[in-house]
Structure 1
Amino acid sequence: MHDSGKRLTILTVKEIQALYGLPQFTDEEQATYFALDPLVKQQLDQLRNITTSVYFILQLGYFKAKKQFFISHRETLIN
């Protein structure tokens, strides 16, 4: 019989954050990942409110950087 309370640890907390956490960008990276081409700007104009637009830009930038989408809360994004 084995102890079901123990879990195998493969990644450290720091490694998990690096893989799955929100990216922390330098100013140069921000300019790169959040740059909007004309087609994206056109799509952005179709969104109905500023909150949706900001969320769209954030998701696009995060996806460009880490190739994944994030579920995030407004308070997390503000910080």
Structure 2
Amino acid sequence: MYIIAIAWLYVAILASLSSTSAVGGVLTFLFFGLGPLALYLWLFGTPARRRAAARRQAEEASHNDRADSDVNQ
């Protein structure tokens, strides 16, 4: 996934460098490079975020906290 992101940034940087003005280059990089890249990483990173959340929830559920238990319970 990250190789695609690196390649996309490379293409976006080259496209922004070939722009005729500095403002056009910056806007090209933002709207052609960083915007779509952020969307891509967010969409394709969702399964990893879900796995991490499930792992955290399983860890919390597996803790057996019996600190307040008495002998007669």
- The answer to whether TM tops 0.5 is no
TM norm structure 1: 0.27
TM norm structure 2: 0.28
